[in-house]
Structure 1
Amino acid sequence: MAKDWERYKTEIKTLYITNGKSLDDVRRILKGRHNFDASIRAFRMKLEDWGMKKNKVPVVVGNQTRPRPGRSLLTANLWRQNLTPPL
């Protein structure tokens, strides 16, 4: 059965982007309010189709850029140099 994503696009954007809710929270809210049930993967794919993404910017302390918690120092250094990590 096809889902009517467009009907909920504005609400999804408000919850996820504007209010900063997690995809799991958005999923639970839509299921509770509208009985709209979709997987997290389906939400990610639809958000990508719509060009919606949360910007995760690095933390700036003083004049130095620090990686966000959970990111490796290698990834942060590569990010600063605009490189990709080795496979």
Structure 2
Amino acid sequence: MTEQMTVRGTLKGHNGWVTQIATTPQYPDMILSASRDKTIIMWKLTRDETNYGIPQRSLQGHSHFVSDVVISSDGQFALSGSWDKSLRLWDLTT
């Protein structure tokens, strides 16, 4: 049995493949996306019919693809892993 799903919106902002997304129940309107463009984007979901989400911040600092990103349970920090052989801890409150 194949179940039909409906696309509700598309978030556009990266210039490379999106490699990972992260969410937290603490902040249901926030999504982080990691990409091969070496950045992480913090999105604010709007659920607007014309624009489902707005990029709030671009976290830059990795020198190669960002392959992983997670958000702390309190939504205050993000941890990213990159092909540049580094992990970066990001303060999302500043």
Q: What TM-score results when the alignment is normalised by the length of structure 2?
A: 0.22
TM-score, structure 1 normalization = 0.23
Whichever structure has more helix as a proportion of its residues is 1
Q: Which has the higher contact order (CA 8 A, sep 6+)?
A: 2
